[in-house]
Structure formats: C-alpha cells, structure tokens
C-alpha cells in the first residue's frame, strides 16, 4: 500500500475522521562531506525517494496522540509533560512540539499517524525525516510562518535537545530543503545553500546505494568522541572551528597538535571540506570522473584518518571499484550503514553481482541495493 494511504487509514483508525492534511519528508544520502557539518563546514547531500509520511490534525486540548503504522503502536501524552532525554520512537515526534514551544511558537496538540520507508539505522536519516515531516505539518497547521532553513534548525534542535544526539544540521537541512534533480550544497556556518544540478543518468551514470546491513551499536558514542576531538583540535589551532583551517600546507599547520589522533581527525575534516568544494565544481562541469575520484578519496580519509568505517563498508567500496565503479564511499555517520557507488549504468549489474558474491563468500547476507534518484524535500501532499 502507498504510505500516504497507509497513514490516512491509520489516522481514521485513531480518530474516526479525516486528517487536515498529509505531509511527506524524505531521507537523504550524502554525496560527499562527512562529519564536516558540526565543524562549520560544507556538505552535499541529496534527498531520497524514501520518506516519512504523516497524516495530521490539530487538537484543542494540548494532547498529542500518535499512531505508528510501521510499529503498530500508539503513544499519547500531554504538551505539559514533554521533557528532554525521552527515548523511544515517539521522542522524534514529541520532541518537535518541545522544540517549537521552547523557541516561542504557539503550537497546540495534534493527532498524528506516521509511516516511513526510510531504512532505520542505515545512515539515510530516518530520524530527520520524521522530525522534518512533523515540523512541516505543524508549521502549516498552526500557521507558524517559519522559513525552511529555520524549520530545519528546529528539527535539529529536537534531535540535539530532546532526543540527546549531538548531530549537525546536514540531515534536517537535506530533508527540508532538497529539490528533485539536485544535490544541496550547504555552508553549515553561514547556512547559505545552493542547489547543484545532479543528473547522473543524463551522462550514462547512476548512483547505486548498497545497504551493508551492518548497524554499529556504539555509533552514538563514537560520534560524540569524534566531535570532541575536532573541538579540541580547533582549540589547539586557535580557530573557532576546523572550517577555518585551509587545506594547503596542511602537514605544517597540523604539526603543533598535541596528539597524532587529533592530526588525523583534523586532516579528515579539512581535506573533506576541500573535497566538497571540488565536487561542486566537478558537478557543474559534468565531470563525473572527477566526482568519483573525490568520493573514493573521501572514503580513504574516513577509513584512515577519521576511523569510522568497518569491514563491510570497506569491502563494498573495494569490490565496487574493482568491478568498474567510478567512485565509492560510505555515507552517513559511520560504522556500517550504506555505501554510495557512482558507476556507468552498464556496470551496475556487474557491480551488484560482485558485491553480493563478496558478501556471501565472507559469510554475510546479501546486501540490499537500490538506485538513488535525487528527489524533492519536505512538503504537503494534500
Ligand atoms: C549523521 C549526523 C549528521 C552528520 C553525519 C556525518 O548523519 O546526523 O549531522 O554529522 O552523521 O556526516
């Protein structure tokens, strides 16, 4: 069943009536620019067709009632009872009410029915999709007049302040602001954006996503330690953020850092920022060969310097390159999840077969794969 119909049905089951509207907000995949967002740097994600769908109506009694189609569960609370560090699937929704009210927006209760086909824990921003679809719905329903970037910032506030994950802005900005046929260049300091045309199909290429199926349970803790390392490196270098360090003459610039680990962490972030700028330039001249090289270099940097890859993503990248990919890299927070493979369309079959064989031969389950098409950001369906 289409997810818009699924949430309509579930909403009727919850309330006995029709919703005021149905909204959609997508997951994202990051073309390049990993772990740069919380360093005030650059990112280049695009929105996926996979998305969270929400049927919603206002309530006038400050109650929030939610039904999850995917889990077959319900949750109910009062606006007055919302408090940070709440866990469970509903935190990503309850936290949006909290973030909006904390920012001074006059938002009341709601009835909500949610469904999503963004794979969970795969590095495709399933949580940002949920936060963004609700911010979008409440902005419309309560006529809040919040602009799209401020809506993304509020969705991130939910994740940081309510759920308690110290993430950057990339995922929410992508879900909120991406447009079909484009990647979103975002400067995470100025919050300026640029829609960069991304149409690999017009050049005989495709972007294949390989979900390795690996989910690392310590990813949250590792994310926080990487972030702390970057902050320490910036402090030692006397700059507000690693964004402020130029990529040329890097060895010399980083030589004064107190620890070899900090040198590697900083080198990843600084060179990755530079790769994002180069990737934008490559896309603007339709140079997919250069884009592929930058993606592969990004992966090497995440593996060697940032140390956030693991065996299944490294195996996927190497196998895809050996089977004819133009470039390949892990995408998202790390320690598993998905690999993005840029390849000539005619090599997709061989690459998928080679990766599947490599997985099965090494005792893993065959990975899920799909071709990613840059899709639209959050919006109202009806
Ligand atoms: C997660 C976070 C993002 C970003 C990426 C790594 O997806 O939510 O803010 O830091 O990891 O690039």
Closest residue by CA, ligand 1 atom 9: 168
For range 59-80, the mean pLDDT: 97
Ligand 1 atom closest to Cα of 128?
Answer: 8
Which of 172, 268, 333 for a ligand 1 pocket mutation test, highest count of atoms within 8 Å of Cβ?
333
For range 309-336, the mean pLDDT: 97
329 Cβ below 6 A of ligand 1: no
254 with 263: CB under 8 angstroms?
yes
What's the CA angle centered on 74, arms 68 and 77, to 5 degrees? 120
The predicted pLDDT at position 194 comes to 98
Q: What distance in Å separates the CA atoms of residue 326 and residue 351, rounded to the nearest whole number?
A: 11
Q: Give the confidence band of 334 by pLDDT, cuts at 50, 70, 90.
A: very high
Tens digits of per-residue pLDDT, 19-47?
999 999 999 999 999 999 999 999 999 99
The predicted pLDDT at position 86 comes to 76
244 with 233: CB under 8 angstroms?
no
**β-pair type (338-344, 205-211):** antiparallel
332 Cβ below 6 A of ligand 1: yes
In the chain, domain spans: 3-195
For residue 217, pLDDT over 70 is answered with no
336 Cβ below 6 A of ligand 1: no
Q: Give the confidence band of 209 by pLDDT, cuts at 50, 70, 90.
A: very high
The predicted pLDDT at position 295 comes to 98
SS (H, E, C) 246-301: CCCCHHHHHCCCCCHHHHHHHHHHHHHHHHHHHHHHHHHCCCHHHHHHHHHHHHHH
The DSSP H or E segment spanning 61 is none
- Active site residue ranges: 171
Closest Cα to residue 38, out of 195, 177, 236, 171?
Answer: 171
Beta strands in 188-228 (DSSP E): 193-197, 205-211
User: Among 84-93, 136-145, 310-319, where is mean pLDDT lowest?
Assistant: 84-93
Q: Find out if CATH 3.30.470.30 is the number for domain 3-195.
A: no
116 - beta bridge partners? 52
Q: What distance in Å separates the CA atoms of residue 254 and residue 87, rounded to the nearest whole number?
A: 39
Distance 163 CA to ligand 1 centre (A): 15
The DSSP H or E segment spanning 64 is strand 63-68
333 Cβ below 6 A of ligand 1: yes
For residue 219, pLDDT over 70 is answered with no
Distance 18 CA to ligand 1 centre (A): 36
Distance 333 CA to ligand 1 centre (A): 5
The predicted pLDDT at position 218 comes to 53
Closest Cα to residue 52, out of 102, 116, 9?
Answer: 116
The predicted pLDDT at position 220 comes to 74
In which order are the strands placed within the sheet that holds 42-43? 42-43, 182-187, 193-197
Q: What distance in Å separates the CA atoms of residue 288 and residue 31, rounded to the nearest whole number?
A: 12
Distance 284 CA to ligand 1 centre (A): 25
The DSSP H or E segment spanning 133 is helix 126-141
**β-pair type (182-187, 205-211):** unpaired
The predicted pLDDT at position 331 comes to 97
């Amino acid at each position: 069943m289409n997810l818009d119909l699924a949430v309509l049905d579930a909403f009727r089951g919850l309330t006995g009536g029709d919703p005021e509207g149905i909204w959609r907000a997508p997951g994202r995949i990051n073309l390049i620019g990993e772990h740069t967002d919380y360093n005030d740097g650059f990112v280049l994600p695009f929105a996926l067709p996979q998305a969270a769908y929400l049927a919603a109506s206002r309530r006038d009694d400050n109650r929030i009632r939610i039904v999850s189609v995917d889990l077959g569960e319900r949750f109910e609370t009062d606006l007055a009872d919302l408090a940070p560090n709440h866990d469970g699937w509903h935190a990503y929704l309850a936290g949006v009410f909290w973030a909006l009210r904390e920012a001074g927006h006059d938002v009341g209760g709601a009835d909500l029915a949610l469904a999503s086909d963004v794979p969970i824990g795969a590095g495709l921003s399933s949580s940002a999709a949920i936060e963004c679809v609700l911010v979008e719905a409440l902005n419309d329903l309560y006529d809040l007049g919040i602009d799209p970037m401020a809506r993304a910032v509020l969705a991130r506030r939910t994740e940081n302040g309510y759920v308690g994950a110290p993430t950057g802005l990339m995922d929410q900005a992508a879900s909120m602001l991406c447009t079909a046929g484009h990647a979103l260049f975002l400067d995470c300091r100025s919050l300026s954006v640029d829609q960069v045309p991304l149409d690999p199909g017009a050049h005989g290429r495709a972007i294949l996503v390989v979900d390795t199926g690996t989910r690392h349970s310590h990813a949250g803790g590792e994310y926080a330690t990487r972030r702390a390392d970057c902050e320490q490196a910036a402090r030692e270098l006397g700059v507000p953020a690693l964004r402020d360090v130029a990529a040329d003459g890097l060895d010399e610039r980083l030589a004064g850092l107190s620890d070899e680990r900090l040198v590697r962490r900083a080198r990843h972030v600084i060179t990755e920022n530079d790769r994002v700028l180069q990737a934008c330039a490559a896309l603007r001249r339709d140079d997919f060969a250069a884009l592929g090289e930058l993606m592969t270099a990004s992966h090497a940097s995440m593996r060697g310097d940032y140390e956030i890859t693991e065996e299944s993503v490294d195996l996927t990248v190497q196998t895809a390159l050996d089977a004819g990919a133009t470039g390949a890299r892990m995408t998202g927070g790390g320690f598993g999840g998905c690999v993005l493979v840029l390849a000539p369309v005619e090599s997709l079959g061989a690459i998928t077969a080679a990766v599947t064989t490599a997985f099965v031969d090494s005792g893993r389950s065959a990975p899920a794969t799909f071709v990613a098409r840059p899709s639209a950001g959050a919006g109202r369906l009806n």
